[in-house]
């Protein structure tokens, strides 16, 4: 999911531009922005789809699927993964981080901390 989100960076930038909201510096803030999720919840605005399609050089049906996949991937990332990523990783850096062994170790340590906290 992280690699897919990283590959969706151009679409995410266009979405922010179309929604007229400033693009946050960190990846986590970028994909958890409420206005971003709102724009893709339910029926996606056809004009938004057309504008993004034009911006990425695709047809609207393919672009709509990209937006649906983006919304699903962003909403399905577990909190432990987002916590492990932290605030310093940028949208451009997420694709490289997705294949890093340090991320896997970091996620596992967050999962362990979550389990310990929930057992109390």
Residue range 14-43, pLDDT digits in tens: 999 999 999 999 999 999 999 988 888 888
CB atoms within 10 A of CB 40: 19
Q: What pLDDT shows up at residue 116?
A: 47
Torsion sign across C-alpha atoms 18, 20, 25, 30:
negative
Question: Which two three-digit tokens encode residue 32?
Answer: 């958890």
Question: Which two three-digit tokens encode residue 110?
Answer: 């967050």
All residue ranges of the chain with pLDDT < 50 are: 116-120
Which residues form the domain of 65? 2-119
The candidate with the shortest Cα–Cα distance to 63, out of 73, 72, 51, 74, is 51
Q: What pLDDT shows up at residue 119?
A: 44
Q: What is the separation, in whole angstroms, between the first and last Cα of the chain?
A: 31
DSSP collapsed to 3 states, the chain:
CHHHHHHCHHHHHHHHHHHCCCCCCCHHHHHCCHHHHHHHCCCCCHHHHHHHHHHHCCCHHHHHHHHHHHHHHHHHCCHHHHHHHCCCCCCCCHHHHHCCHHHHHHHHHHHHHHHHHHHC
pTM metric for this prediction:
0.80
Number of domains in the chain: 1
């Amino acid at each position: 999911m992280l690699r897919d989100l990283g590959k969706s960076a151009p679409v995410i930038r266009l979405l922010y531009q179309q929604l007229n909201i400033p693009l946050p510096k960190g990846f986590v803030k970028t994909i958890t922005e409420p206005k971003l999720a709102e724009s893709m919840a339910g029926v996606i605005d056809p004009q938004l789809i057309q504008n993004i399609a034009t911006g990425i050089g695709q047809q609207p049906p393919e672009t709509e699927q990209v937006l649906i996949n983006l919304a699903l991937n962003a909403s399905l990332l577990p909190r432990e993964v987002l916590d492990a990523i932290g605030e310093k990783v940028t949208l451009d850096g997420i694709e490289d981080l997705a294949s890093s062994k340090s991320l896997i170790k970091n996620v596992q340590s967050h999962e362990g901390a979550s389990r310990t906290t929930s057992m109390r």
